[in-house]
Amino acid sequence: MAAVTDAEFEAQVLKSDKPVLVDFWAEWCGPCRQVAPILDELNAEHGDKLTFLKMNVDENPVTPSSYRVTGIPTINVYQGGEVVKSIVGAKPKAALLKELDGII
For 26-71, the pLDDT digits (tens) are 999 999 999 999 999 999 999 999 999 999 999 999 999 999 999 9
What is the pTM (predicted TM-score) of this model? 0.97
Rounded to an integer, what distance in angstroms lies between the CA atom of residue 62 and that of residue 49?
27
Cα 81 versus chain centre, distance: 14
Rounded to an integer, what distance in angstroms lies between the CA atom of residue 58 and that of residue 25?
8
From 4, 13, 21, 32, active-site residue: 32
Give the pLDDT confidence score for residue 93 in this predicted structure: 98
Q: Can 46 be counted among the known catalytic residues?
A: no
90 backbone dihedrals φ, ψ, rounded to 5°: -75, 135
From 4, 29, 38, 77, active-site residue: 29
Mean pLDDT, rounded, for 87-93: 97
Q: Can 29 be counted among the known catalytic residues?
A: yes
Mean model confidence pLDDT for the chain: 97
- Cβ neighbours of 58 (radius 10 Å): 12
Rounded to an integer, what distance in angstroms lies between the CA atom of residue 92 and that of residue 95?
5
